[in-house]
Structure 1
Amino acid sequence: MTDKIRIIGMLAACLLMITGCSSSASYSAGGLKVIMTCGFAEDEVLRIEDLSCSMQELKVYLINMREEYQAGLGEKIWTIGDGDESLSARLKDACLSGVIRVKTMVLLARKNGIELDDREIGAAHSAAEAYYESLTEEDITAMAGVSEDVIYEMFLENALASKLYEYTIRDINPEVSDDEARTITVLQIMRYTTGADGVSLSDSEVDHIRKDMESVKKQIEEGADFESFVADMNEAPEGTISFGKGEVDKALEDAAFNLSTGEVSDVIRTGDGLVLLKCVTTFNREETEANKVRIALQRKSEAFSEEYDAFAGGLACDLNEELWNSVRVEDGSVEELSDFFDVFNTYFGED
């Protein structure tokens, strides 16, 4: 497989915000209907068609995602609120969204006749054995008593989901030209045309700012240092910015990409304010190469999402409300947990 991807981490496109839902209600998320209902097996959290997710499986994903967050931000992050919703609730919903995505991808793989070969099945066995042997008794308890068989099925599903992704994007051209990905670097002097309260300035106030900016340009043309005005006048967070096509205000993009190295623009009106630019370089090789990677990944993501969304729109997910509501991100402390996704990439990824 050419892309080392974390299927469970592909969450943004289908993030579910379903906390606080009442029983037997239905909700649409990413084209897939989520229904709070009853009639499940004892530890069954959700069901999509003939696929289900147990509490053990959910806990493996949830604890692995939790440990990643804690590694960078510390254990106290779960007490931080954001409006009426905590980070804990958002992570919990993101995990559920990822599980649903994997299950849906497995169903779509079946529809397309995609299967794992003997080598891939053997890799799933080896990955499951390696991961399960790395778990302590405390880890297993935290994961609701997960068994090696459950871990094995999880690796199989992630492998099939990954294979589906590669199959779907097989005809996408990964080549991106220098012109398409070209990234330039400019210095900017930005003056905002909205106040701190978000209210737009009056026409006379904007005209006053424009006259100041035009005066600055005249001084620069007469030999004044552009950089000194950046330090004294720029209201944007950064004085030096790099960007490609389609990443900034169209008026700013058009002006910037028509500049030669060292050239200063006219005063530009954008949605945020008035700007003067000085071109540092018309072609930033390092940023352009990075932009090629971003564009190629975006192409693949869009191609996959188109097929995935069309398929998911015809499915419904039954969620065990009582069991789901009992899940807490903070439950189940672990020490130096092996990363499920790292193990997956060890056995299924390519360098």
Structure 2
Amino acid sequence: MKHRKLQLGIFALLVIISLAVLAYMKFYNGSLVYFTTGLDDNTIFKVADQTATKVEADVLISDAKNQYENFFGEDVWNQNIDGISFEDYAKNQIRSKLIRIKCMNVLAKERGVVLDRTETDNVEKATKEYMAALTSDEISSFAINESDISHMFTEFAIAQRLFNDMTSQVAVEVSADQARVITVQYICADSSTNIDIAKARITAGDSFFYVARETNSDGQYEYELKRGEMDTVFEDKAFNLKTGETSDIIQCGEKYYIIKCISDNNKTKTESNKNSIMSEKKLNAFNDIFESYEASLYVEFNENIWAKYKLSESIKSTANFENIFDSYFK
């Protein structure tokens, strides 16, 4: 089953795109950005004593290009979201993330936050792993060296340590029902007539999945569902079903559905989702603390250089900076 390309209507696609973007972004940025032409051609922006270089932007853009194209396909750059092109939407998130990392390093320096020996060793290991994963052509195209990547891993690690320090005392509670992950099968029809026909077939004894496979236009009929992913009408109905139960007909937008619950609690997935929700709550708590500080910082931004970046035309590197970072620091 193509998990992310269901016939669940436009609401599902928009939610999934938003979640994917947020998952990449990880940090909300609230700094005041001032456009300038006073920075050199290698500098994207400056905040306090922190500068972001073209190499750093290239690395994060490559990560984003890989993620979005693997998730949605190479034509994603021709799509729109929230009234702007996906290209501009993604660039805004990358810019926000890079600014946030730099602002966190400004505060970390003020607080005297430094890496311990283990973290320093991990920076060195991560740097070597990243550089080894690059082809010679990529190294040449990025104009990148070990010093650049070591600096990036160091700043990301310091930001992570600051985050951990500032959220270590945050009390996070997540209920079992809030984290619950379920598996459903569904029938989707474009008209009340077609959904009534499907309902009649099920009532007469036809297999649910057989009717779903024939009725759904893409042949897909099963979905693993978390709270907050779908239209609330669909979600509320699905989460109120017990294993083996089938819903009545519901309408979401212009689509009609019948839902069957295959599992009302996938325990392994529920535990993983609980950890994800806890991480999100910690992030929200961090933002509550950090945003007022961040908003006080002045960011000089080189819009002329930034405007030249096109994710659709950027290099898709064989190395993934954030995956390697997470393997050593998460």
Asked if the contact 1:141–1:332 (Cα under 8 Å) also holds between the matched residues in 2, the reply is no
TM-score (norm 2): 0.68
What amino acid is aligned across from residue 11 of structure 1 in structure 2?
M
- The 2-side partners of 1:135 and 1:189 are apart by 46
- The 2-side partners of 1:238 and 1:308 are apart by 44
- The 1-side partners of 2:181 and 2:314 are apart by 46
What is residue 11 of structure 1 aligned with on the other side?
25
Which residue, out of 155, 158, 182, partners 1:157?
A: 155
Q: Once the two structures are superposed, what CA deviation does each residue of 1:177-218 show, in whole Å capped at 9, x if it has no partner?
A: 54332233333223336xxxxxxxxxxxxxxx27x6556546
Q: Once the two structures are superposed, what CA deviation does each residue of 1:22-52 show, in whole Å capped at 9, x if it has no partner?
A: xxxxxxxx42232221333564331112211
* Other structure's SS at 1:188 match: strand
- The 2-side partners of 1:237 and 1:258 are apart by 25
What is residue 51 of structure 1 aligned with on the other side?
50
Asked if the contact 1:183–1:287 (Cα under 8 Å) also holds between the matched residues in 2, the reply is yes
What RMSD in Å do the two structures reach over aligned CA positions? 4.4
State the shift of 1:96 in Å: 3.6
Unmatched segments (≥5 aa) in structure 2 = 1-22
List aligned pairs for 1:1-351, cutoff 5 A.
Answer: 10-11=24-25, 30-41=29-40, 43-62=42-61, 64-65=62-63, 68=66, 81-82=78-79, 87=87, 94-110=93-109, 113-121=112-120, 123-124=122-123, 141-144=140-143, 148-172=146-170, 176-192=174-190, 209=192, 213=195, 217=199, 220-234=202-216, 238-325=220-307, 339-341=320-322, 344-345=325-326, 348-349=328-329
What amino acid is aligned across from residue 248 of structure 1 in structure 2?
M
- The 2-side partners of 1:132 and 1:126 are apart by 10
Unmatched segments (≥5 aa) in structure 1 = 1-8, 15-29, 194-208
Asked if the contact 2:27–2:97 (Cα under 8 Å) also holds between the matched residues in 1, the reply is no
What amino acid is aligned across from residue 190 of structure 2 in structure 1?
Y
State the shift of 1:54 in Å: 3.2
- The 1-side partners of 2:252 and 2:293 are apart by 40
Q: Once the two structures are superposed, what CA deviation does each residue of 1:73-114 show, in whole Å capped at 9, x if it has no partner?
A: 9xx969964579685x77665544432121022123345553
- The 1-side partners of 2:183 and 2:297 are apart by 46
Single out whichever of 180-189 and 91-100 deviates more from structure 2: 91-100
* Other structure's SS at 2:184 match: strand
Alpha-carbon spacing, 1:328–1:173, altered in 2? closer, same or farther (3 Å): same
* Other structure's SS at 1:108 match: helix
Please identify the structure whose Cα radius of gyration is greater: 1
Asked if the contact 2:65–2:311 (Cα under 8 Å) also holds between the matched residues in 1, the reply is no
State the shift of 1:307 in Å: 3.3
TM-score (norm 1): 0.65
